[in-house]
Structure 1
Amino acid sequence: MSGAAEERMRAWVYLSRMAEGPCAALSALIESVGVEEAARAVEGSALPAALDRLVEKRATVSRRKCVDQDLAWIGRLGGRVVTPDDAEWPAWRMLGLNQLDPTQDEGAAVPLALWVRGQRSLLECAERAVAVVGTRCSTGYGNHATGEIAGELAARGWTVVSGAAFGIDGMAHRAALGAGGTTVAVLACGPDRPYPVQHDRLLAEIVENGVVVTEYPPGTPARKHQFLARNRLIAALADGVVVVEAGLRSGARNTVKWSRRLGRPAMAVPGPVTSAVSVGCHRMIREGEAYMVTCADDVLDEAGPLRLSLPGVVPPDPEENLGGDEAAVYAALPSVGARLPRSLAEAAGVSMGSVRAALSGLEIAGLVVCDENGWSRSAAGRRGSGVV
């Protein structure tokens, strides 16, 4: 890193520490004078009135000392700081936040820096991603629905983004990891603080197989207002947001608000009409705030790329080229009727993750379909097998 680049990086780190979260006025100052000049203004005494709240904090620590401490801290964690100048910065994901009016909601500001832990590139993880969030007090039904949807998305190569909380969030991360996929945990505290502490091992596993990210510098404790700010990043890093179980007053609904403001689809999974933890989902569906989804296919219909077929093109018969797990899973499907993934895993003698990956490939090839009864051979597949 050149001397000029290092100075800019240190300016971003310093301002991230001073702001500790979204700060529309500071973002506006950076946009106006540049990050280095803004850092000098904060360090000195030339601050606009809107930034007076930074004066007291600035006076308690020197710029060099706080930057050195934070860089050493994230280094000891095996992490890194990612700034808007870095190739790993998910710039196109942040464009939506840039379009929002921070005078209406200061929380709409773009992060000044992202503190990242994990083996994967944040930019690559956010390339194809869906956020799966919901209540902390999830039911068995909600956990099952989350596992099916998040696991299927991960098996198809989509990153699952969530907030690492109890309940639906934790289940979404575990399902993605269980399917051998990638997941991103967005924290509302410093990267050194597992929150909740009971998810210490889960977050460690995410670091090994995905990314843990936060806009809060090391040492920052979790505070109530930070969770609402965190929700905008969950929405910003994904192509859409899925809510599985949400009460009438739910933080997940706040994530849906951000998703809609960013122009991305919001989706909700219906639950039993007697369930208090599904009231929020039902209201969002009824009032048009979210599309109703029940499976990964529904989610990808809303959040995935347009799937257009070319008229007059007859594809080759893909069944002849099957091999490995795909061949075993396809052979385990009955000629008539359907089977669930767990039954297929037992019949084919392969793992659940391999089954989901194989089904994804078979579906793309047009050989299988999925409905409420499970997976079955498509009409084209049955014809190829001599079954009419």
Structure 2
Amino acid sequence: MEERQRDDEIEARLRLSLIAGPTDPVLGRLLRRYGHAREVWRAVVTGDRIEPPGDVDGRAFSERLRGLIGRARRVTDRGVAEARDRAGQFGARVVVPGDPEWPTRLESLGTDQPYLLWVRGNGDLRNACLRSAAVIGARAATDYGMYVAAELGYGLAERGWTTVSGGAFGIDAQAHRGALSAGGCTVSVLACGPDIVYPRSHERLFDEIVGSGVLVSELPPGRTPRRHSFLVRNRLIAALTPGTVVVEAGRRSGAMNTAHHAENLHRPVMAVPGPVTSSLSAGCHHLLRDWQAVCVRDAADIVDLLGELDNDVLPAGRPRADPLTLGDSARAVLAHMDETHCVAPATLALRVGCDVPALLRELGLLAAGGLVERSDEGWRRTR
């Protein structure tokens, strides 16, 4: 029954994503009211009378709801199947709230939480973001900024931390490359469908990210990027991580927009200082002077700050999971681990007899229960 309910929830969220863009004020509030997407979809597609929430203008809500009802009635089973098939061709999977791979930090977005996520890659999204930092900045970056971004990505990976960024030219790409060059995990949040490579010249970079990390998007397959998509996407970069680092940015830029989101979510904002004569460091200096952002020089500074705030793996006062309550797959993974020796995911997958993505999902679940932990050398049982 639970599996059937999950399938229905995925189907409903997929359909909702086809009739409305991210952060739709009507759908966000309806999901908060009903709790389950399948109930929201039923109400919308049948045209049930839905009273507007008390915190919105009733007329505007009703007009927007009528538009959603009209689009919902045009969504066909064929359209949903085509989205699934296209995602499957590129190895993208659907992750919804309640799944072990769903990052719980996204709940801080409230009614702006994504309906679902399309995920590509051998990494586990939630697990990758447990200890992570967003490293962002200008597309037209200077040589100084590019060097610093790569060093931050490399240094974070050396310490077992994940670099999250947007896959764009400049700072984003260098941060991803730095993490990959250290053999670490990196997450790229896309402003297009999971099957679209943008920018086109980053096809090889994205392939490398898929190999050891994650590409993630809230937009359905086939959706090309638009100017507004990047600004909406930025809230996910800020929400997935415990803190955001701006390497280079103008006073008005996408990176500053991401920093605003992080500030609104009460997450630490960090900035790398640059030459006072550089317009590409003007945003960083503004953050340092007027926002009281934390000045960082290297990955050690980032980890020193965020490591003290890291309580997502096992919050204080939360009991550890009882191994006897685990499913067969999780128990099999735990049986091939000990408290002394760390083991790499690929090796552990071979021992257990499963593929790496499935193993990482189980490790994420076990980590959430406080039963396993990750180190620079791999994974081991918690002492």
Determine the structure 2 residue equivalent to 1:368.
Answer: none
Return the alpha-carbon distance in structure 2 between the equivalents of residues 181 and 136 of structure 1. 23
- Corresponding residue number in structure 1 for 2:371: none
Corresponding residue for residue 43 of structure 1 = 45
Match of 1:86 among 99, 103, 128: 99
1:178 aligned residue (181, 188, 213): 181
| 2:63 counterpart of 1:61 | no
Give, in angstroms, the shift of residue 65 of structure 1.
2.2
Q: Any stretches of 5+ residues in structure 1 without a counterpart?
A: 103-108, 308-356, 359-388
Consecutive unaligned residues in structure 2, runs of 5 or more: 51-61, 311-375, 378-383
| CA distance in 2 between partners of 1:253 and 1:144 (Å) | 20
Which AA in structure 2 matches 1:69? Answer: E
- Aligned AA for 1:148? E
Letter in 2 for 1:25: V
User: Structure 2 vs 1, CA of residues 44 and 167 (structure 1 numbering), >3 Å: closer, same or farther?
Assistant: same
State the 1:47 CA deviation. Answer: 6.6
**What displacement does 1:228 show?**
1.0
Displacement of 1:221 after TM fit?
A: 1.3
Matched residue, 1:260: 263
Deviations 1:11-32 (A, max 9, x none): 1111122223222321221222
Q: CA contact under 8 A between 2:251 and 2:283: conserved in structure 1?
A: yes
Partner of 1:22: 23
1:152–1:45 CA distance, 2 compared to 1 (3 A): same
Matches within 5 A, 1:360-371: none
The correspondence of residues 1-388 of structure 1 with structure 2, limited to 5 A, is: 2-33=3-34, 34-46=36-48, 48=50, 49=62, 50-62=64-76, 64-91=77-104, 93-98=105-110, 109-305=112-308
Question: What whole-Å deviation, never above 9, does each CA across 1:212-251 have from its counterpart, x for those lacking one?
Answer: 0011011111111111111110011111000011012111
Change in Cα spacing, 1:117 to 1:40, as seen in structure 2 (3 Å) is same
Q: Secondary structure at the match of 1:161?
A: strand
Query: Does structure 2 retain, via aligned residues, the 8 Å contact 1:239–1:304?
Result: no
Secondary structure, aligned partner of 2:271: strand
Deviation at 1:114, TM superposition (A): 0.2
Segments of 4+ moved more than 3 angstroms = none
- TM-aligned CA deviation for residue 36 of structure 1: 1.1
Q: Which residue of 1 aligns with 2:367?
A: none
CA contact (8 A) 2:180 2:186 kept: yes
Output the CA distance in 2 between the equivalents of 1:273 and 1:4.
57
Equivalent AA in structure 2 for residue 218 of structure 1: P
Look up the equivalent residue of 1:60 and give its one-letter code. Answer: R
- Conserved in 2, the CA contact under 8 Å of 1:80 and 1:115? yes
Q: Specify the alignment match of 1:332 in structure 2.
A: none
Write the deviation string for residues 263-312 of structure 1: whole angstroms up to 9, x where unpaired: 110001011111111111111111025211111122122222269xxxxx
Equivalent-residue separation in structure 1 for 2:195 and 2:148 (angstroms): 31
- In structure 1, how many angstroms separate the alpha carbons of the residues matched to 2:225 and 2:169? 15
The aligned amino acid for 1:83 is V
Deviation at 1:5, TM superposition (A): 2.5
**Shift in CA distance, 76/250, structure 1 to aligned 2, threshold 3 Å:** same
Q: Indicate if the aligned counterparts of 2:18 and 2:75 stay in contact, CA closer than 8 A.
A: no
Post-superposition shift, 1:57?
Answer: 2.8
Aligned residues: percent identity?
46
SS at match of 2:119: strand
User: What is the letter of the counterpart of residue 200 of structure 1?
Assistant: E
C-alpha contact 1:20 1:217 (8 A) present in aligned 2? no
For 2:48, the aligned partner's letter is A
Root-mean-square deviation over aligned CA pairs: 1.8
Q: Equivalent residue of 1:126, what SS?
A: helix
Greater Cα radius of gyration, structure 1 or 2: 1
Q: In the TM superposition, what whole-angstrom CA distance separates every residue of 1:46-89 from its partner, at most 9, and x where no partner exists?
A: 37514233244334332x22222221121111110101131211
Partner of 1:378: none
